[in-house]
A and B are shown apart, each in its own frame.
Chain A
Amino acid sequence: MKSKFLQNFLSETGDISRFTARFFAEAFRPRYELSEFLKQCFFIGYKSLPLVAITAFIMGLVITIQSRPTLVEFGAEAWLPKMVSVSLVREIAPVITALICAGKVGSGIGAELGSMKVTEQIDAMEVSGTNPFKYLVATRVLAATLTIPILVVLADAVSLYGGYLGANIHGVVSWDLFWNQVFDTLAFSDIIPSILKTFFFGFAIGIIGCYKGYNSNKGTEGVGRSANSAVVISSLLVFILDLLAVQIIDLLKLT
């Protein structure tokens, strides 16, 4: 029972690694599927934007409201913008955005490629003189890798704005004061690593969604399962990568 689970886990990990290796072997050689890539950037970026913005705004607002009582207790209310901005930019905005994208983008890619696989559309592409791995997988993985960091930057800005409103519910913090404090606190060493790690989040979401969809089988039931496990695995990977990123940043004394 246990050994079976371990065996499945290891063989799946091996398959995903091979799939990733194939991505690097094929994605950067011509012919480049530029128009499909741009279309996917549009889908992944633009279509997820409202969802990401709303979540980021609410997270900024509630984190500020929740942090206030503790700071008031220590008479450190004036530190509110500092504290909130660090936690938002370093952790909350990147991770929440990545999770939302794992749900929306990961399941979308998994289901789309999965249904293309079971209805033989992927075979049809191959017969039509197209390398389906390049056309479908490479474009989606690259688009996810590049657009999710952009979404994170936007989420940073929107969540800080939510923080500003949150700080003004009880006390009064002027617009200038808030942003002065925020930018005094935030250094490049906060922003750059936290954005760098989101490239890895985006890559993980793209590659897992594609892997699950591209290898789905057993009819329509398999499509549902692909979408589902794409979300589960990529969400988990986001947390694991985040943990690794924090450890690395800590080791390099970038904090």
Chain B
Amino acid sequence: MIAQAQLNNRIDTTNDMPVIQLSHVYKSFGSNRVLQDFTFDLKKGENVVVLGKSGSGKSVLIKCIIGLIKPDSGTINVLGQNIPDLNHSQLDKIRAKVGFLFQSNALYDSMTVRENLEFPLRRHRANMTTNQIDELVREALNSVGLEHTVDMTPSELSGGMKKRIALARTLILKPEIILYDEPTTGLDPITGKEISNLMCELAKKYNTSSIVISHDLNCVKIVADKIVMLIDGKCYAQGSYEDLQTSDDEKIKLFFK
């Protein structure tokens, strides 16, 4: 989309308003400073990949966006509302529009796959009929190719299947913004590619915006409109895949070997 390198620069928002806007976000756990002055925008319809070392705070970053972790300071503006200021019911309204894929899948062990997928629907869309719910469950499972697992429990699924069910559960609400925490980790290259393509398709079809955390360069190549490097708690650099790949910065080079 935007060709020129924009290291350490804010991207100019010419046409549309950002759906997520973080400015000067700080978060530390005790003496462990995780996010330090993190500033970044996500525009509508854009897929941004966050790259960073293990333990650099990528998961903490997107948990701050959904309001699971409260930042120490800074503003996190999602769809026009500052997340740290919201109360429970206001947060729920935002969360109905934001999908979140957990790194550890977080499927409910005590429920079947069907109940897992129904859970967010019954919670966020209280007035849906059973028929509508069934239809959406079938559609979501179909999109990840796992229709036959509908009556199984998560313990009967393989790691990769769990990941795909978790993805289906994230997508079932047709969110406007999706936050993916390592969507292709633990999948074989073929399924990984399918999932990456699915993510792109969704973004185009419903004009969703997404933040993707991934170490999988194949996935990054397919999905990323823009890449953000999270180094030392900051938005160290951002730009397209090619920009960053050809960068001379030592810290960035390490990721593209």
State the A residues within 8 Å of B (CB): 112, 115-116, 119-121, 123-131
Task: Please indicate the chain B residues that have their CB under 8 angstroms from the CB of A123 in the complex.
Answer: 63, 68, 102, 106
CB pair B96 A121 closer than 8 Å: no
Bound CA span A127–B104, Å: 14
Task: Please indicate the chain B residues that have their CB under 8 angstroms from the CB of A119 in the complex.
Answer: 104-106, 109
The interface-forming segment of B39-47, B117-125, B128-136, B201-209 is: B117-125
Q: List 5 A-B contacts (CB under 8 A).
A: A127-B100, A128-B119, A128-B124, A129-B92, A131-B88
Bound CA span A125–B63, Å: 14
CB pair B120 A128 closer than 8 Å: yes
Bound CA span A130–B119, Å: 9
CB pair B92 A120 closer than 8 Å: no
Cβ distance A223 to chain B, nearest Cβ, rounded Å: 12
Question: Is the C-beta of B13 less than 8 angstroms from some C-beta in chain A?
Answer: no
CB pair A121 B107 closer than 8 Å: yes
CB pair A112 B110 closer than 8 Å: yes
Instruction: Report the tally of A-B residue pairs with Cβ distances under 8 A.
Output: 45
Task: Please indicate the chain A residues that have their CB under 8 angstroms from the CB of B104 in the complex.
Answer: 119-120
Task: Please indicate the chain A residues that have their CB under 8 angstroms from the CB of B92 in the complex.
Answer: 129
Bound CA span A123–B88, Å: 14
In B23-69, the 8 Å CB interface with A consists of 63, 66, 68
Task: Please indicate the chain B residues that have their CB under 8 angstroms from the CB of A125 in the complex.
Answer: 108, 119
Cβ distance A204 to chain B, nearest Cβ, rounded Å: 24
CB pair B68 A121 closer than 8 Å: no
CB pair B110 A120 closer than 8 Å: no
State the B residues within 8 Å of A (CB): 63, 66, 68, 88, 92, 95-96, 100, 102-110, 119-120, 123-124
CB pair A124 B96 closer than 8 Å: no
Task: Please indicate the chain A residues that have their CB under 8 angstroms from the CB of B103 in the complex.
Answer: 120
Bound CA span A128–B100, Å: 9
Task: Please indicate the chain B residues that have their CB under 8 angstroms from the CB of A115 in the complex.
Answer: 109
Q: From B88, B96, B104, name the one whose CB has the most chain A CB atoms within 10 angstroms.
A: B104
Contact of B109 among A121, A129, A131 (CB under 8 A): A121
Task: Please indicate the chain B residues that have their CB under 8 angstroms from the CB of A128 in the complex.
Answer: 95, 119-120, 123-124
Bound CA span A127–B103, Å: 14
Cβ distance B52 to chain A, nearest Cβ, rounded Å: 19
Bound CA span A119–B102, Å: 9
Task: Please indicate the chain A residues that have their CB under 8 angstroms from the CB of B102 in the complex.
Answer: 120, 123-124
Task: Please indicate the chain A residues that have their CB under 8 angstroms from the CB of B110 in the complex.
Answer: 112
Beyond A116-B108, A126-B68, A130-B123, 17 extra complex contacts between A and B, CB < 8 Å: A112-B110, A116-B109, A119-B106, A121-B109, A123-B63, A123-B102, A125-B108, A127-B66, A127-B68, A127-B100, A129-B92, A129-B96, A129-B120, A129-B123, A129-B124, A130-B119, A131-B88
Task: Please indicate the chain B residues that have their CB under 8 angstroms from the CB of A116 in the complex.
Answer: 108-109
CB pair B95 A127 closer than 8 Å: yes
Cβ distance B127 to chain A, nearest Cβ, rounded Å: 13
Task: Please indicate the chain B residues that have their CB under 8 angstroms from the CB of A120 in the complex.
Answer: 102-104, 106
Chain B residue with the shortest CB-CB distance to A120: B106
Contact of A124 among B88, B108, B124 (CB under 8 A): B108
Task: Please indicate the chain B residues that have their CB under 8 angstroms from the CB of A127 in the complex.
Answer: 66, 68, 95, 100
CB pair B95 A124 closer than 8 Å: no
CB pair A121 B95 closer than 8 Å: no
Cβ distance B38 to chain A, nearest Cβ, rounded Å: 21
Bound CA span A129–B107, Å: 15
Task: Please indicate the chain B residues that have their CB under 8 angstroms from the CB of A112 in the complex.
Answer: 110
Cβ distance B257 to chain A, nearest Cβ, rounded Å: 31
Task: Please indicate the chain A residues that have their CB under 8 angstroms from the CB of B95 in the complex.
Answer: 127-129
Task: Please indicate the chain B residues that have their CB under 8 angstroms from the CB of A130 in the complex.
Answer: 119, 123
Bound CA span A125–B120, Å: 8
Cβ distance A116 to chain B, nearest Cβ, rounded Å: 8
Cβ distance B78 to chain A, nearest Cβ, rounded Å: 13
